[in-house]
Amino acid sequence: MLRAIGRQVFAAFDFFGDCVLLLVRSLSYLARGRVGLRRTAQQMAVAGSGSLPIVLVTLLCVGMAWGWHTAVLMVRFGASSYFGGGTAVAIARELGPALCGVVVAARVGSAFAAELGTMTVTEQVDALRALAISPIRFLVLPRLLACVIMLPILAVIADAAGILGAFAVSAHFGVSSGEYIASVQQWLSPRDLYGGVAKTVVFGLIIALVGCRQGLRATAGAAGVGRATTSAVVLSIVLIYAANLLLTAAIFR
């Protein structure tokens, strides 16, 4: 029992240590301007435009479901004037950033782990080292920058989709469009938007670092790549939830 716990603790320290080293080495290349702009743009397309449809669908449906349940209660208790503002604040602070991070982790984090894992088990990463090309600069840094740049943009679009989703069903439950818009204007502040967007920068770091780390540590052929991909998604989502809680306590205290 104690031995198993010790192995888990060691694995946790090993994981976080690897992620920190990846981040530090990536930032060192970034500080020296050794950034592959073409590779970064390619990864931005994967993380950004490739993820946009599923982010839009997810937040639009979540906003409509939120409005479906919340508007009934607000109207019943005579608080319909708070419905739009409460919905916008909840989406901007929590639902938009968190769900956007989870969706991108499932789509992009898994792709990073699978691609880098395949390159690792087929010795393509070793070939890069033999050619004096750093895998961190060539593979990790473009993906890291892509996630950090595109996640905030996706979060803004996701917030708008969620708020519009709730707006689409609000009239059905007796909340007028003018009342909804006025409530949003009254209660949604720039701090809510900036705080939610700031969260996604951290989520982008988590997705890129975990996906790349798991891929670079993949072993045992195709089965190892599958395990790396699964663990990358699971770890990314868990860390996003934990980081979201800590960031909410820090930003919106």
pTM of the model: 0.91
What does 180-224 look like in DSSP terms, one character per residue? HHHHHHHH--HHHHHHHHHHHHHHHHHHHHHHHHHHHT--SHHHH
| Residue 146 within a domain | yes
In a domain, residue 242? The reply is: yes
Q: Looking at residue 35, what is its pLDDT?
A: 84
Burial class of residue 233 (count of CB atoms within 10 Å of its CB; 0-12, 13-18, 19+): buried
Structural domain span for residue 83: 45-251
CA angle 100, 8, 23 (to 5 degrees): 50
In a domain, residue 222? The reply is yes
Find out whether 228 and 213 touch, Cβ atoms under 8 Å.
Answer: no
Q: pLDDT value at position 8?
A: 76
Is residue 234 assigned to a domain?
yes
106 inside domain: yes
Question: Six-digit token pair at 66?
Answer: 């939120």
> Number of folded domains in the chain?
1
Q: What is the mean pLDDT of each run of 10 residues along the chain (253 residues)?
A: 72 84 91 86 89 93 89 80 88 93 93 91 87 89 94 94 90 82 89 93 95 88 86 94 94 85
Nearest CA to 240 out of 63, 103, 140 is that of 103
pLDDT on residue 57: 94
Q: Is residue 1 part of a domain?
A: no
pLDDT for the residue 1: 67
pLDDT for 2: 63
